[in-house]
A and B are shown apart, each in its own frame.
Chain A
Amino acid sequence: MKTSPSNLQKTLENGKFAVTAECGPPRGANVKVVRQKAELLKGVVDAVNVTDNQTAIVRMSSIAASAHLVQMGLEPVMQMVVRDRNRIALQSDILGAWSLGIKNILCLSGDHQTFGSQPDAMNVFDIDSMNLLRMVKNMRDNGKDMSGFELNEAPQMFIGAAANPFADPFEYRVIRLAKKIEAGADFIQTQCIYNMKRFKEWIRLSREEGLTEKVYILAGVTPLKSAGMAKFMNNRVAGMDVPEDVIKRMEGVPKEKAVAEGLKICLETIAELREIKGISGVHIMAIEWEEKVAEIVKAAGLQK
């Protein structure tokens, strides 16, 4: 059976600039929280990432929250980390997700459990995110599970991966992107971009390798709320790079204007990203600030 591709896939294949956002499931079983967040994003973006026990804190499962979005007529990008599930559970959940109408998946390693609320947990890491990409691709393209067993229906997932141009070693980041594409990534969502210089360098190198021709890259942005947040992200969040001039800019405005300044930086970043060859869209990560997404999309002139 051939099902129609996801909105996100269609948008990207049609060469339109895609916009995705993020929805973190609640720390509890209340579906209303998911619905409220979803309402704020409905009709605003092409697809919504649903995080998978983000920062290793127990939340409603990404598969269930994604299914709620499907019911509401939104399109989820179900995130899936290899921290908590072995290959058997991962494959089973992918089959289940597809059966629930979930058409996009983002394959991740996941934050280490020591960051979370239950550091006493044992982790899994049976396979890595690269292996997960290949697994989903094999299920889709060959209709087989990892054992080679023929599936009675293949999940036709549109497959995504993450990339962090700001992590080290820098020169390996392009090799890693190439590996992710080879493993099965159709699209990439990047870490939040504040260091434009380094991002442009990464894109340039990726272009030179012909990688931007092979994959859709959605550039990550997060509006800053305060100078404190900028510093926190730079110093405390793994893999985040907020350069000194951005922090200075946030410090340079009075507290009550910080949100506006953060938004301005975000919009400038989006405008700059749209000019870069090889960028197919933006991924707006407004964590617990979903109401801001519509405003950003509108101000950036990216309405659907």
Chain B
Amino acid sequence: MIVAEQKPIDEIKKMVAPYQKLLILGCGTCVKTCFAGGEDEVAVLASALRLSFKKDGKKIEIEEKTIERQCENEFIQEAASCVARNQAVLSLGCGAGVQDIARQFAKVPVLPGLNTTFIGVQERPGLFTEECVGCGNCELALYGGICPITRCSKKLLNGPCGGSQNGICEVDPSVECAWQLIIDRLKTLGQLDNIRAYIPPKDWRSSNSGGPRKLVREDHII
């Protein structure tokens, strides 16, 4: 999923301050799963803002709405009438959601209520970890299903740096060394040979380094 977290309330207040009628728009997919932008979070944020603005003596009407996905027009249109009666939208979708909402409603300011952080998983309750940077050419088969591009702090492709100690990454004591994990797993799978040979430099053209990416699916064009 796309993992995100809510921006600090003060930052949100500053962004929405110019408006008297605001729609807080939640998203029911990834950001709901990571407790950042689902229906519940929309409700909590709306009350917090109402209360806080009331204390400040500022008048603001806040409407709440959550759609299934902010990155799919079919769902976005469900929010069209709500958007129409407000001056601005505070989107609790990921960065893609915010932009897709903005794309559909050209004349309405759409503001980000979340900081989109990474593509990841909930490793255990309350702990989300980054797993993939979307490099566009997946090499997980080679590395036993653990991504060194994402999970090694130095993106090393040819084995651990000299700072790997007791399974911990030198960069941050709370981070596991991806290479220790890769080696352990390849040993278990009997595939250590995968990383014995020299691995050439990565071709980053498939990544964001090659510019914004597009995917055309001829079979889905109508």
Hey, which bits of chain A sit against chain B, CB under 8 A?
83, 87, 109-110, 112, 114-115, 123, 125-131, 134-135, 146, 162-164, 167-169, 172, 175-176, 178-179, 182-183, 191, 238-239
Contacts and interface: CB of A to CB of B under 8 A. Distances in A.
Contacts, number: 96
27 contacts: A83-B154, A109-B162, A110-B154, A114-B172, A115-B171, A123-B154, A125-B154, A126-B201, A126-B204, A129-B158, A130-B159, A131-B157, A131-B158, A134-B200, A167-B164, A168-B165, A168-B166, A168-B167, A169-B160, A169-B180, A169-B184, A172-B183, A178-B196, A179-B198, A183-B198, A191-B162, A239-B161
Contacts of A87: 201
A128 B149 CA distance: 11
Interface of B: 153-167, 170-172, 177, 179-180, 183-184, 195-202, 204
Contact of A134 (B153, B198, B202): B198
Given A114-B171, A131-B200, A169 B164 contact: yes
A175 B195 CA distance: 9
Nearest to A182: B198
Contact of A169 (B162, B170, B183): B183
Nearest to B172: A114
B199 A130 contact: yes
B175 to A, nearest CB: 11
A128 B155 contact: yes
Contacts of B184: 169
Contacts of A167: 160-165
Contacts of A83: 154
B170 A238 contact: yes
Given A125-B154, A128-B158, A167-B163, 8 more contacts: A83-B154, A109-B161, A128-B155, A131-B158, A169-B164, A179-B196, A238-B162, A238-B163
B139 to A, nearest CB: 14
A128 B157 contact: yes
Given A169-B180, A239-B165, A109 B156 contact: yes
A179 B165 CA distance: 20
B219 to A, nearest CB: 35
Nearest to A132: B201
B46 to A, nearest CB: 34
A179 B159 contact: yes
Contacts of B171: 112, 114-115
A178 B171 CA distance: 25
A128 B154 contact: yes
Nearest to B162: A164
B115 to A, nearest CB: 16
Given A112-B171, A125-B154, A168-B180, A238 B165 contact: yes
A239 B179 CA distance: 14
A169 B180 CA distance: 6
A167 B159 CA distance: 12
A110 B161 CA distance: 9
A267 B165 CA distance: 27
A40 B12 CA distance: 59
Nearest to A241: B165
